[in-house]
Structure 1
């Protein structure tokens, strides 16, 4: 529901909007304690409701009478609305009175109203006020910290019976992804206190983009191992691949946020900075303290010394560091599947003949590379305790699932398709008007499959109509249209590379900050980042890592870890 959660998964987004929201979602963002288990992909004031509403609670209603998509009689539901941009509503419409809310009423018999509709920077404060005053909407989105507080205060409905009795197979494919892993942050003792707000599972999965024209000039081959990738980066920095006779090219992009570009490199050494990894006994350990970090930091210190990474990276955040990439001065970018849409789409515009080829991150010595990927949940949709019709949430999610799977036999999906065709709403991003939103975790993998099949068959008529516009952009890019180059690279190269990893490492901590984490988490993170940067730039020897690890634990890191493990034990 929040902006950073709206990543590259929405059908109706336009290219620029998609690229920007995707970029916003690309940060690993794991240090706040959202999730690290290894998972094998192959296995692995509220208004009262309407008096005449006939839908019963699932434990009282025979299963054969349940309609999982629509109430028999109108039911009033009060939501909390995050308003992305009030200016996109046409004249006569607003967050509480618009075509989407009317469609919801017509297709589900849910009569939606808003307890409040505010920008997200004010949204969470309103939720906190509602918790403090026990005056909450009926159904609303909550971040992990607020979910934890709501559960502690016994303010939420248990949705497990609702899920079991009302959720359709398609909803279970979305919410039950990874054998129910997505429920973890809202699960206590077998009860589900929220439904996960799901986005595409590929967000945060590393993809390596390499300047193909530079490889061709140097006579270089595609790297097969991590060592070969680093060797290629060195050649890009030292052998003048742009041919201007100046030492102004770099092998790798890096920034002072130590984001995916940093963590993906550390993952090659079996180190998982900024996330909590479970050991064989199920106990959490902090990945940034793994001794294998020293190998990765030594490698980066060598690259910095040799000029393979920008000597000014310590002064640049992620967007600023992308300027060198856009200017065509960087040979290798560790990005995500959507990176061709930003920042790589600017490179061919700025440098004649520039082109990229992509690949998954290779493993050290040819071993399997196991990346840390953020769990694809940004928070939870919850129902206040005492609301008479918690199944309303499931009806909404069931209809959204039908839309995600392009089932136009479904009344909601058909109405949604027609609404998206209305030129009045062409640039309104009406998906953001929904009070509840989910997407398929395999949304972009599904697009890749649809598009490759269409290329083989020579027709796009077998794919859902809402995918054809994007496919036509991909097709134009494949045929050499520079304006659509990025669409082709994203869906036919970036997506399959991002989805190729057999083993994913997830953050093992789903909860919000512990009591000590609230007090000391920020200062500990600053200590961590400053230590790593000092080692990389040569201001501290790599041996200082051991002193850092001890200081980190002594200053509160061990206490935070103990609190997390104790909390996990109590939740079983």
Structure 2
């Protein structure tokens, strides 16, 4: 597999060298320093490594700790002899982190050794093309541990977005495979109250949504419930409260590049199935099955309808029972829900968008004197934390009293720890280290009744709500129905110039159709405009790229 990946990357190199002549900005590089020696796995004296990463609002601290000084930074210094420093810690709210980093780049300010980013792919490209970052692929080949390389070999396509002129400038932050594949969560107590069965087809789903909307399932005597909650502010095919599966019932997936069945890729949003999906959403919205505010709801706001007990169905990843949807049990007495397979459409098929096996990227400053320091840090997490051994320091979690504790001789997870928090959210790569196939395989086996044996299995059992295991089983059973985005390369030349404009055209047109502001025939006009505004050129460029990796 690794040889296959390198062959594909070599092909990209040949194409890029032929196609590109400008190159990254020339930035002087400091002379490489003498490699640092480790003493019993630790730098003595301690060495410094600066980094930047975004901070989410759900990242919590305890014991007076901060982003700059916490149990994770203390661990890095005590265990590895690495003194982690961050010049500033800014939230992703309202894109504050990305704005500040972009301003730093435009002002030519000195950047830290490591920049770790999730989201804002355009900013990632700006950073890569700035000439300020090293060929991370070469460093990975030289310094990464076997465990980390094996994780990479299982998902070689995750490197493609960070290629520039044939080189790997960013290291993908590997995530669990299928972590974003969607399942349907439905209020089980509402089904029982109204005498309904779990919907297996679109017609049965419509029957259930109609009852959830019009038969007062919450019993308050008001018409204030919805069959399904979706959030369309950011995208239709998004990460939670998504509606991509509606189009999946018509055998396509909007907002991504899908397999055309003839060895080429086609853009999902201009396929006939999307027209049918838009007509379906328009119908459901007009009948009150969806909230009228869906167009301005983001993923989290839309989920609040479910957790408040006002929507009976929500679609998203298997892990949502951990956060946020289990709150419905706190907010509504007797509320129960379960995960079920997505209903089939008119052709008897159902499809969800398929997720990749990475979630972000690490960039390494070309002026970092000793880049092996970062690999010492991340190698340790892959070798010791990702799948820990019995008796190891990470056997039960990252730090006792934070994400686990031992009470009366029994290990309890973060949810049962007093003021429990997850130190993994403090790490440079946001989640410590993840081996792509490990989590879903483990969840599915535990769902079948397997007794947990390894520390990873035991920790997974402790850390997840019971509904997560059922949902994971649904994901695994239906993984072949996933439609993955097949284009994972860097933006093409036409994308750089025109994608923002045609994306706006798409979003505006789809919203107007769903809300009944224009007729469904406007979809055909949209397709024509999309092609003439650069879509045809983008399609050709995407398929030129696709030839290099297949």
Q: TM-score, normalised by structure 2?
A: 0.74
Secondary structure of the equivalent of 1:292? helix
Contact 1:53 1:72 (C-alpha < 8 Å) held by counterparts: no
Unaligned runs of 5+ in 2: 1-27, 407-416
Paired residue for 1:395?
376
Equivalent in 224, 230, 235 of residue 254 of structure 1: 230
Contact 2:137 2:171 (C-alpha < 8 Å) held by counterparts: no
Kindly provide the CA deviation profile for residues 167-216 of structure 1, in whole angstroms up to 9, marking residues without a partner as x: 334323433333x1221212357743222112333443211122223322
Give RMSD over aligned pairs.
4.3
Q: Distance in 1 between matches of 2:265 and 2:103?
A: 29
Q: Distance in 2 between matches of 1:422 and 1:554?
A: 60
1:103 paired with 2:75, answer: yes
1:197 paired with 2:173, answer: yes
Deviation, 1:467, is 5.1
Q: Distance in 2 between matches of 1:422 and 1:221?
A: 41
Deviation, 1:500, is 3.0
Paired residue for 1:126?
101
Secondary structure of the equivalent of 1:340? coil
Q: Distance in 2 between matches of 1:46 and 1:433?
A: 30
Unaligned runs of 5+ in 1: 1-44, 56-65, 475-486
- The count of corresponding residues between Structure 1 and Structure 2 is 497
Contact 1:53 1:75 (C-alpha < 8 Å) held by counterparts: no
Equivalent in 261, 270, 273 of residue 251 of structure 2: 270
Kindly provide the CA deviation profile for residues 416-448 of structure 1, in whole angstroms up to 9, marking residues without a partner as x: 545857999965643343334433334643663
Higher helix share: 1
Equivalent in 538, 546, 571 of residue 524 of structure 2: 546
Paired residue for 1:136?
111
Paired residue for 1:496?
473
Paired residue for 1:464?
455
Q: How does 1:413-424 map to 2 (within 5 A)?
A: 416-417=398-399, 420=402
Equivalent in 389, 402, 427 of residue 407 of structure 1: 389
Q: Distance in 2 between matches of 1:47 and 1:95?
A: 29
1:371 paired with 2:352, answer: yes
Kindly provide the CA deviation profile for residues 269-308 of structure 1, in whole angstroms up to 9, marking residues without a partner as x: 1221111224356544321111111221222233334443
1:158 paired with 2:141, answer: no
Deviation, 1:352, is 4.1
Q: How does 1:296-311 map to 2 (within 5 A)?
A: 296-311=277-292
Paired residue for 2:434?
439
Q: 1:507 to 1:473 in 2, by over 3 A?
A: closer
Paired residue for 2:20?
none
Q: 1:290 to 1:200 in 2, by over 3 A?
A: same
Q: Distance in 2 between matches of 1:282 and 1:399?
A: 41
Segment drifting more, 133-142 vs 264-273? 133-142
Q: Distance in 1 between matches of 2:392 and 2:50?
A: 24
Kindly provide the CA deviation profile for residues 37-71 of structure 1, in whole angstroms up to 9, marking residues without a partner as x: xxxxxxxx99998768247xxxxxxxxxx99x666
Q: Distance in 1 between matches of 2:150 and 2:310?
A: 43
Secondary structure of the equivalent of 1:328? coil
1:286 paired with 2:281, answer: no
Paired residue for 1:60?
none
Paired residue for 1:53?
36
1:216 paired with 2:192, answer: yes
Q: Distance in 2 between matches of 1:48 and 1:412?
A: 37
Paired residue for 2:486?
508
1:187 paired with 2:163, answer: yes
Segment drifting more, 309-318 vs 351-360? 309-318
Deviation, 1:265, is 0.8
Q: 1:523 to 1:440 in 2, by over 3 A?
A: same
Q: Distance in 2 between matches of 1:334 and 1:516?
A: 33
Q: 1:172 to 1:186 in 2, by over 3 A?
A: same
Q: How does 1:332-347 map to 2 (within 5 A)?
A: 332-347=313-328
Structure scoring higher RCO (CA < 8 A, sep ≥ 6) equals 1
Deviation, 1:337, is 1.8
Q: TM-score, normalised by structure 1?
A: 0.71
Paired residue for 1:534?
512
Paired residue for 1:480?
none
Q: 1:214 to 1:76 in 2, by over 3 A?
A: closer
Contact 2:395 2:455 (C-alpha < 8 Å) held by counterparts: no
Deviation, 1:552, is 2.5
Q: 1:166 to 1:425 in 2, by over 3 A?
A: farther
Q: Distance in 1 between matches of 2:534 and 2:455?
A: 53
Q: How does 1:58-77 map to 2 (within 5 A)?
A: 75-77=47-49
Q: Distance in 2 between matches of 1:218 and 1:146?
A: 50
Deviation, 1:94, is 5.6
Paired residue for 2:342?
361
Kindly provide the CA deviation profile for residues 440-472 of structure 1, in whole angstroms up to 9, marking residues without a partner as x: 33464366357558x665xx7x4539955x745
